[in-house]
A and B are shown apart, each in its own frame.
Chain A
Amino acid sequence: MTDTTTSAAITEPIVPKPVSGTVDYLDQRVGAASMIKGLSRKLFPDHWSFLLGEIALYSFIVLLLSGFFLTMFFVPSMTEVHYPEDALPVTMQGVEMSEAFASTLNMSFHVRGGLLMRQIHHWAALMFVGSMVVHMLRIFFTGAFRKPRELNYLVGFSMLILSLLAGLTGYSLPDDVLSGNGLRITDGVVKSLPIIGSYMSYMVFGGEFPGTDVIPRMFTLHILLIPALILGLVALHLFLVFWQKHTQYPGPGRTDKNVVGYPLFPVYMAKAGGFFFIVFGVLALMGAFMSINSVWNYGPFDPALVSAGAQPDWYMLFLEGSLRLMPGQPEFVILGWTLSLNVLIPAVVIPGLLFTFLGAYPFIEAAVTKDTGEHHVLDRPRNAATRTSLGAAFLSVFIVLLVAGANDLVATHFGLSLNAITWVLRVLFFVLPVVVFVITKRICLALQRKDREVVLHGHETGTVRRTADGRFYEVHQPLDEFERWVRVGHHVYRPLQLAPAEDANGVRRPGGRLDGIRTTLSRFFYEDRVEPVTPAELATAHSHGEHDQLPAGESSRVGELTSTSGTSH
């Protein structure tokens, strides 16, 4: 490379003529050369978990493509028609149904590739939300949301909410019994809202449920408004990833001031570009081999009907589970007004709390660390024990709700009583997060201690030696400096020590209350911690010989060490 650029640059072109011609043309008009200069060799760190967000992005592109195909054949109308007597499937021949449902059947059975595209679209939708959630978990557990990425975290969070709306509106379009009941539940939840609920229901359905407006309205939301918003946020999300440069996992040579990785062109062009085709390929194969949402099984919507196993798609299942777990007592009539807390709590309050926790977490953590530095090196989850435990507790609540949403299937598939499962899950909803929090935290701290152990004494080799005076010891292989760095390089936060809320004369300091809360939270976050090995400790360990026991001062509580909180490493 250097040869051509230095010695032959003047006589021979650096790149082939068509390339240089195109670049020149674009450069003269839009300044393409500086874009290429800025972007083409931009570095991206390499790790499989950085591809989770790409799965979401590519699923979204597959959704747009397959969705475009479907709109060509779908009729978003609730006009009643009779399905032709000679069309497939035979179970629907002559049945009265809406045009939306009829066109869904027609595109499934009489448009070549139509059923395939429907299945790809639905699988891609499930995958889209699924990969977003998993991507978000990666962001959460590695602390990628810390400064300066809080805003991009919120962009992603907004996309998650929008994707749920996209799913809800799209799921309802075929106008089958299953999705119709989903709409009906939505209607029931909307009606429970105090004061405005009934009117909101009228607003959604253009009158009484089900009406004839809801499918055309959902269609417009589903194919225009929501995807446009998601697309805009995707662009912003990606722009910020480029602008702020990607985070990287801790490792030798990786710091908050550099990026270690491979250039966009050619490595990421091939890897990320290739991954798009892989995601598309996997989704297409799923669409080819696995049936999904076979609406002819459910039949056209009729408000009198329901079938066993009435559940929403998986991303709405937690809401369904929340509704199922709630006991019915808290519905009150106050001064003649009906307040349905038995619907509002599970369908509005609990999801509200869960999503608020998710959205607010970066700001809570920033407040309790008072850390104002930029973070580009990720945390190993064990080194952020409280965060990891909070995340695990959050997940456990989510999983309890998912199981509750499928409690009838759990009952039939494991031969259990529906009522017993519901009661067990009601208890677990409160107990499990606490248990999971405590256990996860213990595991994280134990892993940190294991790290210290390995740094101080090296890896166990399994070779046992005998000394001249007859003692036995196991030979430990000391870590090299690169291996060691991963285990000792992290920063450990200590609880904030803020001035007390009242001074010596008992006078309240402005902002004292807030600082009090902050101190308490900070203690909750960072009271239990394990300090990484220092060079001095390692030197001591070495001087004692490889086989010696751990020196004192392995773990520390508040007060054992002088506090130097709040600076980044």
Chain B
Amino acid sequence: MSARGRGRRSRFAPMLLLAFALVLVGGIYTAVAPNAAQADTQTTGDAAHGEKLFITNCATCHGTGAVGSDLAPSLIGVGAASVHFQVTTGRMPMQASGAQAPAKPPQFDESEALDLAAYVATLGPGPEIPTEDQVDPAQGSPANGMLLFRTNCAMCHNAVGAGGALTEGKYAPSLMESTPTVIYEAMLTGPQSMPGFNDATLTPDEKRDVIAFLMEQRGTQPGGFALGSIGPVSEGIWVFIVGLGSLIGIAVWVGSRSS
């Protein structure tokens, strides 16, 4: 009896240890990991420093004084919001030309991005970076945001913002990780393929509602694992892999002879 007990302990001990370790690591991660939404602190940038950064990093394509060139459009009048969006999401500076500039780890930190934005804003009037209040999801209505999002955004970005395909290799990116400020700026300025939504078609309050909806969507899924939130195709794949897969596995067991 005791021999068997020992055997059992030794068999399950590694699994238990592993499970414990996983829980521990997960717990520490959630406690320590930075919260992306907290990173936005609003200050105005230093245009003079921004100009220096612009000349060394951007002028090759966008031209001295941001007048544009064959490679890249003029930035006069695009506004601070556009620059802040492009730079903080890492889309600019672009690494290689392609169907569209992908988001990547940003090359400049927040204050440098604000400097650049401040510089470009001096070149001509354009949309400004939203204030903390303008992007505060707590002040928006998720229900109204849902109505607006599905009319104006869901056809490209998917019903919950998981992203979708456009033509010729372009795509609407996932919004699952985007900060409220970035979402607001994208709506306001219409980066790349995306059309803009100015304050007449989508008022600042309505933009905040959209943000509130998107933040609400990121919470717990009442039904369980979201399976990518991309709809029936992923559900179909899962029913074959998990459902039929396990049932066929069990069927093989049912049909086999016991040793």
Contacts and interface: CB of A to CB of B under 8 A. Distances in A.
Interface in B116-171: 142-143, 145-147, 150-151, 154-160, 162-169, 171
Interface stretch (A17-25, A148-156, A281-289): A281-289
Interface in B209-225: 213, 216-217, 221-225
A505 B231 CA distance: 68
A95 B225 CA distance: 26
B240 interface: yes
A289 B159 CA distance: 21
B177 interface: no
Interface in A355-385: none
A106 B156 CA distance: 29
Interface SS of B by simple majority: helix
B98 to A, nearest CB: 10
B147 A95 contact: yes
B160 A297 contact: yes
Contact of B154 (A47, A108, A306, A411): A306
A408 B146 contact: no
Contacts of A406: 233
Nearest to B236: A314
Interface string B235-259: 1111110111011101111111000
A480 to B, nearest CB: 19
Interface in A278-296: 278-279, 282-283, 286, 288-294
B137 to A, nearest CB: 11
Contact of B168 (A134, A415, A418): A418
A178 B159 contact: yes
Interface residues of B, number: 60
B164 A308 contact: yes
Contacts of B252: 48
A308 B157 contact: yes
Interface string A305-321: 11111111111010000
Contacts of B171: 411-412
A412 B163 contact: yes
Contact of B232 (A89, A290, A311): A311
A48 B232 contact: no
A126 B235 contact: yes
A304 B151 contact: yes
Interface string A86-124: 001111111100000000000011000001000100110
Contacts of A90: 142-143, 216
B36 interface: no
A307 B154 contact: yes
A253 to B, nearest CB: 16
Interface in A312-337: 312-315, 317
A-side interface mostly: helix
B113 interface: no
Contacts of B157: 308
A271 interface: yes
B248 A48 contact: yes
B226 interface: yes
Interface in A10-66: 46-52, 55
B160 to A, nearest CB: 5
Contacts of B163: 308, 412
Given A91-B142, A278-B254, 13 more contacts: A50-B255, A89-B216, A91-B146, A178-B159, A279-B247, A283-B243, A290-B224, A297-B160, A299-B150, A299-B159, A409-B234, A411-B169, A416-B169
Interface of B: 99, 142-143, 145-147, 150-151, 154-160, 162-169, 171-172, 213, 216-217, 221-227, 229-240, 242-244, 246-248, 250-256
Interface of A: 46-52, 55, 88-95, 108-109, 115, 119, 122-123, 126-127, 130-131, 134, 177-178, 271, 274-275, 278-279, 282-283, 286, 288-294, 297-299, 302, 304-315, 317, 405-409, 411-412, 415-420
Q: 3 closest A-B pairs (Cβ-Cβ)? A: A308-B164, A314-B236, A291-B223
18 contacts: A48-B255, A88-B222, A94-B143, A123-B239, A178-B232, A278-B247, A278-B250, A286-B243, A289-B224, A292-B235, A297-B229, A308-B156, A308-B172, A313-B235, A313-B236, A408-B164, A412-B164, A416-B169
